[in-house]
């Protein structure tokens, strides 16, 4: 047997010889590698133990992870349905807390919706108020425009002022003269009512307009009466400039008589209302 081993393993043959001559040392030599192997194995086992511990730790981690991941999965289930999961139904306090939380959430959502609706209502009311305000402003502007006064003639020269004296006037001049060509448009100075229209002696053809406050406006020496009665708007044409009555040339003689009484200076009266003839 040794011969067959010898060619293949010369060293082994030598060792075999040594084993035969010195069994003890050989044993110790054999034991030594064994011991060494053990020594090597020990750390390996120690290292092996670590993975084992690691596996345990991983298992624990997995277990923990499994538990941790199971918990959030279970939590929505509580919120989703009123039924507590089997694992948690054991704790009625927790289920009750979840139910209370759900109710609180529901109430909070309802409160949010209520606040949202309230805000929408307020915005709508605000928009409506704004629209009403704009309408009111437009109406007031229209009213102001209607109430606004305008000069009775557009293209003119003032040829005589109030209070002047002249040989052809019986008294001091009672009006303001707007000299303009015959046929020039005469406009109502303000919104009012034509209360008189026709021939009036020295005044020639005359229109009397009464304003809402009772002030009478006399338009005299007209060549034509366009509006002889009824309501007129401010700036509406009511007649044409002429030279009828006691005149030396075509012009509009304008008189202002508050309350239908004595005349006042038309220039002052117009200036007090923002117009500068």
According to the binding rule CB under 5 A, does residue 253 interact with Zn ion?
A: yes
* CB closest to Zn ion, residue no: 253
Residue 209 · residue 188 · CB < 8 Å: yes
Q: Please identify, using beta-carbon distances, which residue of 78 and 153 lies nearer to Zn ion.
A: 153
Q: Please identify, using beta-carbon distances, which residue of 78 and 189 lies nearer to Zn ion.
A: 189
Q: Please identify, using beta-carbon distances, which residue of 84 and 257 lies nearer to Zn ion.
A: 257
Least distance from C-beta 157 to Zn ion, angstroms?
Answer: 13
Distance CA 267, CA 161 (A): 8
Q: Of 158-177, which residues contact Zn ion (CB under 5 A)? A: 175, 177
Distance CA 254, CA 221 (A): 9
Least distance from C-beta 189 to Zn ion, angstroms?
Answer: 15
Task: State how far Cα 134 lies from the chain centre.
Answer: 17
Residue 250 · residue 182 · CB < 8 Å: yes
Q: Please identify, using beta-carbon distances, which residue of 150 and 246 lies nearer to Zn ion.
A: 246
Least distance from C-beta 184 to Zn ion, angstroms?
Answer: 15
Q: Please identify, using beta-carbon distances, which residue of 98 and 216 lies nearer to Zn ion.
A: 216
Q: Which one, of 184, 196, 194, lies nearest residue 152 by Cα?
A: 184
Least distance from C-beta 147 to Zn ion, angstroms?
Answer: 26
According to the binding rule CB under 5 A, does residue 221 interact with Zn ion?
A: no
Number of residues in contact with Zn ion under rule CB under 5 A? 3
Q: Please identify, using beta-carbon distances, which residue of 240 and 253 lies nearer to Zn ion.
A: 253
φ, ψ (nearest 5 deg) of residue 240:
-135, 145
Least distance from C-beta 173 to Zn ion, angstroms?
Answer: 6
Span near Zn ion by CB under 5 A; candidates 7-15, 29-37, 50-58, 245-253: 245-253
Least distance from C-beta 253 to Zn ion, angstroms?
Answer: 3
Least distance from C-beta 127 to Zn ion, angstroms?
Answer: 55
Least distance from C-beta 211 to Zn ion, angstroms?
Answer: 20
Q: Please identify, using beta-carbon distances, which residue of 84 and 225 lies nearer to Zn ion.
A: 225
Give the Cβ contact number of residue 174 at 10 Å: 22
DSSP for 210-251? E-TTS-EEEEEEESEES--SEEE-TT-EEEE-B--SS-SS-E
Q: Please identify, using beta-carbon distances, which residue of 11 and 166 lies nearer to Zn ion.
A: 166
Q: Of 22-51, which residues contact Zn ion (CB under 5 A)? A: none
Question: Half-sphere exposure of residue 233, counting CA atoms within 13 Å on the CB side?
Answer: 7
Q: Of 170-209, which residues contact Zn ion (CB under 5 A)? A: 175, 177
Residue 145 · residue 151 · CB < 8 Å: no
Distance CA 36, CA 17 (A): 23
Q: Which one, of 187, 171, 189, 150, lies nearest residue 263 by Cα?
A: 171
List contacts with Zn ion (CB under 5 A). Answer: 175, 177, 253
């Amino acid at each position: 047997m040794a011969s067959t081993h010898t060619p293949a393993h010369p060293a082994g043959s030598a060792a075999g010889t040594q084993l035969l001559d010195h069994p003890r040392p050989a044993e110790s030599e054999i034991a030594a590698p064994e011991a060494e192997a053990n020594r090597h194995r020990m750390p390996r086992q120690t290292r092996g133990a670590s993975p084992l511990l690691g596996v345990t730790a991983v298992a624990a981690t997995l277990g923990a992870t499994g538990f941790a991941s199971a918990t959030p999965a279970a939590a929505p289930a509580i919120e989703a349905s009123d039924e507590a999961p089997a694992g948690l139904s054991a704790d009625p306090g927790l289920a009750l807390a979840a139910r209370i939380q759900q109710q609180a959430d529901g109430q909070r959502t309802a409160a949010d919706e209520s606040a949202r609706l309230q805000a929408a209502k307020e915005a709508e009311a605000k928009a409506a108020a704004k629209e009403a305000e704009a309408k009111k402003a437009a109406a007031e502007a229209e009213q102001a425009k209607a109430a606004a006064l305008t000069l009775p003639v557009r293209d003119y020269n003032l040829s005589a002022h109030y209070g002047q004296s002249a040989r052809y006037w019986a008294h001091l001049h009672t009006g303001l003269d707007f000299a303009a060509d015959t046929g020039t448009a005469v406009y109502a100075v303000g919104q009012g009512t034509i209360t008189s229209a026709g021939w009036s002696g020295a005044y020639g053809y005359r229109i009397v307009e009464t304003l809402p406050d009772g002030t009478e406006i006399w338009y005299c020496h007209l060549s034509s009466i366009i509006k002889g009665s009824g309501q007129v708007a401010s700036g509406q044409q009511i007649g044409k400039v002429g030279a009828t009555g006691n005149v030396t040339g075509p012009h509009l003689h304008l008189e202002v008589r508050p309350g239908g009484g004595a005349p006042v200076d038309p220039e002052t009266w117009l200036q007090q209302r923002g117009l500068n003839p």
